[in-house]
Amino acid sequence: MGVSYIPVARIAELAPGVMKEVDLGGRQVLLTFAEGKYFAFSRQCPHEDADLQSAGQLLNGTKLRCNNHGYCFDLKTGECMLPQGGPPLTVLPTEEKGEDVCIRLEW
Ligand code: FES
């Protein structure tokens, strides 16, 4: 199995509550900083494909709400918390490497 680290931001570049757009080889991902950690997740809502850059709202802690229909996701796991059992949000692991925030890809 291979592992790659894709640098997507500089450490301390993101203020809490900001969502940065990242193009990951043609896939659109958002990166945010919350509770002292970086979270990367699909820009597309798993419910009906809303653009979370505009429809997404970061709530307290590590929750993300899609304002299109009110679904809420846990950025730590991608789990849909409201409604429970809804489609999960795709989340990607991040790691800090030197001065960079990286997305960790495995294949
Ligand atoms: S499209 Fe996001 S909750 Fe429906």
Domains of the chain: 3-106 (2.102.10.10)
Q: Which of 30, 42, 66 to mutate to test the pocket of ligand 1 (most atoms within 8 A of CB)?
A: 66
Tokens of 40: 């990367």
Around Cβ 74, how many Cβ atoms within 10 Å? 17
Q: Is 58 in the pocket of ligand 1 (CB under 6 A)?
A: no
Q: pTM (2 decimals)?
A: 0.95
Rounded distance from Cα 50 to ligand 1 centre (Å): 6
Tokens of 103: 């997305």
Task: Find the radius of gyration of the CA atoms of the chain.
Answer: 13
Q: For residue range 38-96, what is the model confidence (pLDDT) as tens digits?
A: 999 999 999 999 999 999 999 988 999 999 999 999 999 999 999 999 999 999 999 99
Tokens of 12: 């301390």
